[in-house]
């Protein structure tokens, strides 16, 4: 459901639409598809536009702004649908070129959008490294320390306001356990978990998000 919503947004996000409008349309799409609530502080879509994509904040105080999407811009969307007590948790970054949201292939053909293309590719690369690295007997701290070092080596910064890189999927948001320093829980002890690096290049001005839910089955890693 979250994935299909992101797909629909490719035709919604364009030059001139505001952050607030994107939130309203996104939540309406999810409700129309049967979502009956939003598990993250009642927020269905956590949206930031332009330089606001570097903002990391708790959903408790989040209010979408009237910032408009520019002709060449960036938008991050983080979804939190809940359906019959089950969570969705999915985030993607949209790149707008000449007023329209475009795919990575279009970016590769552009000569002046290196920062945007690089951020998208770094996010994809981080998820690939994550999938190849983690094992069921590793702790959340093990993974956190390794992936944070990878982010640093790529000359990017972890923007998360709490410093973590993801969390377990629970029935109560207050029970989440995080990819963070000090968490000795092993991945094999939980059912589902997200990886969601929120990053920016050290010398540049836009933030990037990509989030998926993962799980182990018989020792093999899968992504929802």
Kindly report, residue by residue over 1-40, the tens digit of the pLDDT. Answer: 789 999 999 999 999 999 999 999 999 999 999 998 999 8
CATH 3.90.230.10 fits 2-223, yes or no: yes
How large a percentage of the chain has pLDDT more than 70?
Answer: 95
Closest alpha carbon to 59 in 85, 74, 38, 75: 38
- The two tokens of residue 105 are 């292939």
Q: Does residue 57 have a pLDDT over 70?
A: yes
Of 149, 134, 130, 136, nearest to 196 by C-alpha is 130
What is the arithmetic mean of pLDDT over 95-107?
A: 80
Whether the Cβ atoms of residue 29 and residue 53 lie closer than 8 Å to each other? no
Whole-model pTM: value is: 0.93
DSSP string for residues in 69-133: P-SSEEEEEEE-EEETTEE--EEEEEEEETTEEE-HHHHHT-SS-HHHHHHHHHHHHHHHHHHHH
Would you state the structure tokens that stand for residue 60, as one six-digit string? 């408790």
Percent of the chain surpassing pLDDT 90: 83
Lowest mean pLDDT among 76-85, 112-121, 126-135: 112-121
What average pLDDT does the segment 122-135 reach?
A: 98
The pLDDT of residue 145 is above 70: yes
What is the rounded end-to-end Cα distance, in angstroms, of the chain? 11
Band (107; pLDDT cuts 50, 70, 90): low
Q: What pLDDT was estimated at residue 113?
A: 63
> What ranges do the domains of the chain cover?
2-223
């Amino acid at each position: 459901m979250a994935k299909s919503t992101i797909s629909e947004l490719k035709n919604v996000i364009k030059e001139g639409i505001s952050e607030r409008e994107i939130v309203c349309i996104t939540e309406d799409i999810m409700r129309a598809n049967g979502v009956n609530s939003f598990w993250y502080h009642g927020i269905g879509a956590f949206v930031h536009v332009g330089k606001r994509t570097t903002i990391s904040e708790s959903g408790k105080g989040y209010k979408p702004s009237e910032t408009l999407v520019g002709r060449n811009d960036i938008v991050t969307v983080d979804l939190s649908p809940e359906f019959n007590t089950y969570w969705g948790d999915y985030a993607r970054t949209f790149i707008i070129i000449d007023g329209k949201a475009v795919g990575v292939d279009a970016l590769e053909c552009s000569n002046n959008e290196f920062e945007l293309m690089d951020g998208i590719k770094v996010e994809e690369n981080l998820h690939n490294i994550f999938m190849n690295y983690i094992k069921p007997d590793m702790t959340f701290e093990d993974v956190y320390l390794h992936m944070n070092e990878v982010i640093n080596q790529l000359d990017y910064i972890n923007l998360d306001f709490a410093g973590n890189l993801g969390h377990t999927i629970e029935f109560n948001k207050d029970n989440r356990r995080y990819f963070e320093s000090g968490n000795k829980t092993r991945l094999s002890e939980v059912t589902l978990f997200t990886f969601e690096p929120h990053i920016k290049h050290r010398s540049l001005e836009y933030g990037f998000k990509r989030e998926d839910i993962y799980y182990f089955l018989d020792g093999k890693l899968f992504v929802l």
